[in-house]
Chain A
Amino acid sequence: MAKLENIIEALYLHEDPSAVAVLEEVGTNCEAEKVRKLTARALVKRNTYDSLKLVISSRGKGVNDLNSEVAMATIDEIIGITDKTQIMNVINDTINSNPDNDIRENAMSIRTLIEMSA
C-alpha cells in the first residue's frame, strides 16, 4: 500500500489533466486537515490555471479553507512558486469576476503578499 503523501505527489506530477479533478473531489473535500493541506499544496505546485483557480476562487478550499493551518500552508506554497504568471492571472480574474466578496478580499490580500515578497 502506497503512502498517502506519495499518492498526492503522484497526482500532482501526473500528466493527465484529470488528476486535478481527482485532487479536488477526493482531497479538498476530505475531513482530515492533513489531507486537505497536502492536496492544496499539490494543486499550487501543479501551477496550472485550473489547479490554482481551485485554491483561490473556491469557497472552503485552499486559501479560503476554514482551517487557518490549511490556508496558511497554501499561501506559503503560493509565495514559494518561481513562475507566478499563472497565479497572478487567476488572482486578477478572481478579483474582477468572482461574486463572493470574501474570496475577492482574500485574493487581494494574496496579491499584496506576492508583490511584497517579490
Chain B
Amino acid sequence: MLFLSLRLTKYRPNQKERNNMYKIGINSKGLSVFKKENNELVKRKNANPFQNSFKGKMLTRDVFVSSTIREHAPIEQIRTIFDTTLAHLSNTKEFLAKNSAPVVQLFHDLVDKTVSFARKGREMFSKVSKFEQIDFKRVFPKLARETEISTNAHEVKMLTQQPVNELRNMFETAIA
C-alpha cells in the first residue's frame, strides 16, 4: 500500500498527457487531489522507498515486520543464542580434538603404568605367598631349635637360679 501511494504521489502527467486530458475534458485542477511535494522530498523517497521519516527521525531499518514474527522474537533470540553456543561448543570440541592428543596420551601412559605396577605387585605377592609356604624349620634346623628354646625361656631362667646339685637331681630324674 505504501509503495502504491508513493507511486501515486510521484505520478505527474507530462504536457502531452495534459493536452490529452484537456481534450477529453479532464480539468487539470482535478489532479490537485494529489498532494504537492517538493522535489527534494520526492528525490529522497525515490532513493530508498523503505526509508521513511517517523516524527522527524529517520528509520533506516525495515520496521514493517509482521506481528507473528514480532511475537516470536524472543524465541528467535534464544534460538540464535543456542546456535551460537552450539557453534562455540563445536569449535571447542574441535580444538580439544586437535590439541588434547598429548594430554590423552599422557593419561593413557599413566593408566598403563598403573596397570603394569599392579600386575607386578600381584606377581610379587604370589611369589611371597609361595615363599611363605616353605617350612623354615625344615630348611634351617637351627632356627627351629632356637624357636623352641625361646618358648621355654621363662622356665629355663627359673632353673638357672637353682643350684647345680639340684639341677643334677632333676636331670637324673628326667632321664630315668
Contact = CB atoms under 8 A, between A and B. Distances in A.
B170 A35 contact: no
A9 B175 contact: no
Interface size class of B (residues with CB under 8 A): 20 to 34
B174 interface: yes
A7 B171 contact: yes
A22 B171 contact: yes
A110 B164 CA distance: 31
Contacts of B162: 10
A2 B168 contact: no
Interface string A67-108: 000000000100010000000000000000000000000000
A1 B171 CA distance: 10
Interface residues of A, number: 26
Majority-rule SS of A interface residues: helix
Contacts of B156: 6, 9-10, 13
Given A2-B174, A30-B175, A22 B168 contact: yes
Given A2-B159, A9-B152, A10-B156, A80 B142 contact: yes
B11 to A, nearest CB: 133
A4 B174 contact: yes
A4 B141 CA distance: 19
A62 B156 CA distance: 23
B174 A1 contact: yes
A59 interface: no
Given A5-B152, A6-B159, A9-B156, A14 B164 contact: yes
A63 interface: no
B155 interface: yes
Interface of A: 1-11, 13-16, 18-19, 22, 26-27, 30, 32, 35, 41, 76, 80
Q: In the A-B complex, list the 9 residue pairs whose CB atoms are closest, starting with the nearest.
A: A10-B159, A4-B174, A9-B156, A22-B168, A16-B164, A10-B160, A6-B155, A6-B152, A26-B171
